[in-house]
């Protein structure tokens, strides 16, 4: 897994991934062009366009930080704790940002493909969606599986793609770009977020409080500075749990205040437009 003795041994391409930068810039340009073309073709002004653009581009930036920046290279070759930060960004930051930036008309053609719709309808059941991601991410960190995955680049790529897919499934339940596949109300979303924040705790605790090295691939990393290998391992468990909690607390707060605002607006509307039943006593 580790073929370098110091960070200075990494090349410019390994550290900064210029090809990925080009691809992500192209995707961002396609997104902007698509929105402009949609408005022109349908002679409409899309609502919250600036906010959605921000979320989508922020999602692309999060992807680059996790998969193409020096964070990825350093985490892969030297620091387990940085690797865990990278994973936290790609699973807990990238998916919700990208989903929040998508318009319904962007995803409808894809989810209406019969096999895709069939699979998504099964996977988007809330309990299954949240359980699958956390279960497989926990399995990923079992030492025998982790070391096997880290021993082969193909295994690493496939595991990462699979977990990103499951992360999108988990986040779709909370931030659906369309209601066509069903949705849950805000109180259930709050329960879902709480449940999601708890499920990964055992895996993080195992890493954080392990008395010795869990992973052979981490134990053989070169010790550069700052911390020992065991301290690095413990820090990795803390990093993932803290990152997860920050994101879920922010999500919980957003959903709660959105729900509160909707309830208040509904009550105001009822006050301004009382029902016939409410007026009947006054009409007698």
What pLDDT score does 202 carry? 92
**What is the per-residue burial (b if ≥16 Cβ within 10 Å, else e) of 218-253?**
beebeeeeeeebeebbbbbbebbbebbbebbeebbe
Contact 102, 56 (CB under 8 A): yes
Measure the CA–CA gap between 111 and 180, rounded to whole angstroms: 9
Contact between 25 and 17 (Cβ < 8 Å):
no
The pLDDT of residue 283 is 42
Quick check: helix, strand or coil at residue 102?
A: coil
What token pair was written down for 184?
A: 């849950």
Identify the DSSP state of 227.
Answer: S
Whole-number pLDDT of residue 3: 63
pLDDT of residue 271: 63
Q: What residues have CB less than 8 Å from 114, skipping those under 6 apart?
A: none
What pLDDT sits at residue 140? 95
- Determine the pLDDT at residue 284: 43
Residue 176 confidence (pLDDT): 95
Query: How far, in Å, CA of 132 to CA of 136, rounded?
Result: 6
Residue 250 has a pLDDT of 95
Residues in the chain where the model's pLDDT stays below 70? 1-5, 223-225, 269-284
DSSP 50-92: HHHHHHHHHHHHHHHHHHTSHHHHHHHHT-HHHHHHHHHHHHH
pLDDT reported for residue 281: 53
Predicted pLDDT at 11: 84
């Amino acid at each position: 897994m580790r073929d370098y003795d110091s960070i200075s041994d990494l090349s410019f391409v390994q550290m900064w991934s210029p090809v990925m930068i080009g691809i992500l810039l192209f995707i961002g340009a396609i997104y902007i062009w698509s929105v402009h073309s949609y408005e022109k073709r349908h002679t409409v002004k899309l609502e919250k366009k600036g906010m959605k653009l921000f979320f989508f581009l922020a999602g692309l930036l999060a992807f680059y930080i996790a998969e193409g920046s020096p964070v990825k290279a350093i985490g892969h070759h030297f620091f387990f704790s940085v690797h865990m930060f990278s994973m936290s960004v790609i699973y807990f930051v990238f998916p919700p940002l990208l989903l929040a930036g998508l318009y319904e008309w962007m995803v409808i053609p894809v989810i209406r493909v019969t096999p895709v719709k069939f699979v998504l309808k099964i996977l988007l059941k809330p309990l299954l969606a949240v359980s699958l991601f956390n279960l497989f991410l926990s399995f990923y960190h079992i030492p025998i599986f982790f070391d096997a995955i880290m021993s082969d680049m193909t295994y690493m790529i496939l595991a990462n793609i699979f977990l990103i897919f499951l992360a999108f499934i988990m986040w779709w339940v909370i931030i659906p770009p369309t209601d066509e596949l069903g949705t849950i109300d805000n109180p259930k979303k709050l329960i879902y977020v709480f449940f999601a924040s708890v499920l990964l705790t055992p895996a993080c605790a195992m890493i954080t409080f392990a008395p010795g090295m869990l992973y052979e691939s981490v134990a053989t990393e070169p010790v550069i500075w700052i911390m020992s290998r065991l301290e690095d391992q413990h820090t990795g468990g803390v990093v993932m749990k803290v990152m997860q909690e920050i994101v879920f607390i922010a999500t919980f707060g957003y959903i709660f205040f959105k729900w509160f605002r909707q309830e208040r607006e509904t009550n105001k509307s009822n006050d301004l437009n009382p029902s016939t039943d409410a007026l009947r006593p006054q009409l007698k």
